[in-house]
Chains A and B, each alone.
Chain A
């Protein structure tokens, strides 16, 4: 885990301390701790039902946590939600609209709700980049086009903080790229981005840091690069002759993935490889290949735990 305790409060965009939330007997969040710096792009990864949406909805005071504390841009959303919402753009996981409105009317509605802050020329620019016809009634739009309206409404007032729940869901790969590039541009302009996803490539290419949530708990919080390249490795070993490698499985962080015979072995190593390398020194190793796991594979290792 990365220690961000030293960061001054003024540089923190999101601070979540020990939030918990239960729905009856179901514990949706079990003491989540997060810190996101201003200007950072932060990925929030987890399988369905892990608590991603619940965390984001707590941040915007749509649901009230049972315990813990949240500060967004220095404001407690439970005390002054309007102050937080004024500076925040939000994209929910499932976009639902008034179907009889046109896209333009729906965006005007959101703009009015915000107190008319967006430049309409910017809205048109965004819709052109998404190839979205604003005059179409929403009921005639595909799921992807509805998602585009959601992305536009989140970005159109150029907020300080973006909270995005699965921002590219339902979009084709081309439009996914467009969203990613828009988010990068927003970030370059100073916007802090917190987004949840289960698309690993998206998190890998966009996020600077990532938290993995599973069953309401943060199981990993680290730099994306660190997570991808150093944390988990897959190692394929070929021995010169049949060998007894059972001792390797007892090493910390080592898991045997496959062992077709006594000469071929595939391992997954989480963390430090020093002990493994020392142990391999006592074995007749012919060949050894190390493969850095993609974030997707890393994620799956946490998911399966």
Chain B
């Protein structure tokens, strides 16, 4: 337990600058976006004309239709929550793919794992450290979106605003665990980051435009972004989707765990795929 806690502590400390960068970036974005609703509401008619002039494909990318950006939830969805899985997803892919394999590829893991930690405690310490860092980013972002909420006219409480951030966290965890799993299955971190990054973008694009093409609808249902509830969760949160995404993340983390505990630790430059 002690070695798990030590690993967790160092992992979180190692990710601290990323937490600050991504978390405060997200918070700043919230601080800029939220007050804009008040001025946009004042110009609702002109704004609606502008929105109506957008091609439906463009609106689809932001998860909106011609009227929704004028509602508080629609505004947050279009200007923030529709894009946040992609933006924070970049962190998820980079941090997830490098969580263990970065040290392995740099030749550091050999010595770290030679200390009496145990692979099990090491893996969970690191994984929980990353989950903690992701949660911290979400909390900072949530604070940023709430600080000017009262003056914005959006009318959401702090508790209500936590719900779309919860769905965002779950979505990000899917890609974090996917990147982690691929980093342990594929021969290099770069390849894992590339594949999971590509899936992140494909998931976003396909799910965004699937309503225009019924053939894409089926594919979309197989992709995580389809189950991202965004601001729709403000009206009704679908706990089954949340649980399913969490279950998939947990399964990928368990596969990663099995992989890590059963495989050889590679020295920098090695490309062994051998397992016991």
Contacts and interface: CB of A to CB of B under 8 A. Distances in A.
Interface of A: 23-24, 53, 57, 60, 62-64, 81-83, 85-86, 88, 90, 92, 94-98, 109-110, 112-115, 150, 153
A181 to B, nearest CB: 24
B238 interface: no
A113 B115 contact: yes
Contacts of B65: none
Contacts of A112: 6, 9-10
Contact of B110 (A24, A62, A64, A115): A62
Given A23-B272, A82-B117, A115-B3, A95 B111 contact: yes
A113 B265 contact: no
B15 to A, nearest CB: 13
Interface string B22-47: 00000000000000000000000000
19 contacts: A57-B265, A60-B114, A62-B264, A63-B265, A64-B264, A82-B116, A86-B116, A88-B114, A90-B111, A90-B114, A92-B111, A94-B107, A98-B108, A109-B10, A112-B9, A113-B3, A113-B112, A113-B115, A115-B116
A305 B116 CA distance: 40
B115 to A, nearest CB: 4
A57 B110 contact: yes
Contacts of A24: 274
Contacts of A90: 111, 114
Most A CB atoms within 10 A — which of B6, B114, B268, B276?
A: B114
A49 to B, nearest CB: 13
Nearest to A65: B276
Nearest to A109: B10
A296 to B, nearest CB: 27
Nearest to B9: A112
Contacts of B9: 112
Contacts of B274: 23-24
A248 B36 CA distance: 100
Nearest to A90: B114
B110 A92 contact: yes
Given A62-B110, A96-B111, A153-B111, 13 more contacts: A24-B274, A64-B276, A83-B116, A85-B116, A92-B111, A96-B106, A98-B14, A98-B108, A113-B6, A113-B116, A114-B115, A115-B2, A115-B6
A139 B111 CA distance: 18
B270 to A, nearest CB: 8
Given A113-B3, A113-B6, A115-B2, A62 B108 contact: no
B113 interface: yes
B247 interface: no
Nearest to A153: B111
B21 interface: no
B155 interface: no
Contacts of B14: 98
B7 to A, nearest CB: 8
Interface string B102-139: 00001110111111111100000000000000000000
Nearest to A87: B116
Contacts of B108: 96-98
A73 B118 CA distance: 18
Contact of A62 (B7, B116, B265): B265
Nearest to B271: A23
Given A64-B264, A96-B107, A81 B118 contact: yes
A150 B111 CA distance: 9
Nearest to A84: B116
Contacts of A86: 116
A109 B6 CA distance: 9
Contacts of A88: 114
Interface string B251-270: 00000000000001101100
A114 B264 contact: no
Given A109-B10, A113-B112, A82 B268 contact: no
B46 to A, nearest CB: 51
A121 to B, nearest CB: 21
Contacts of A150: 111
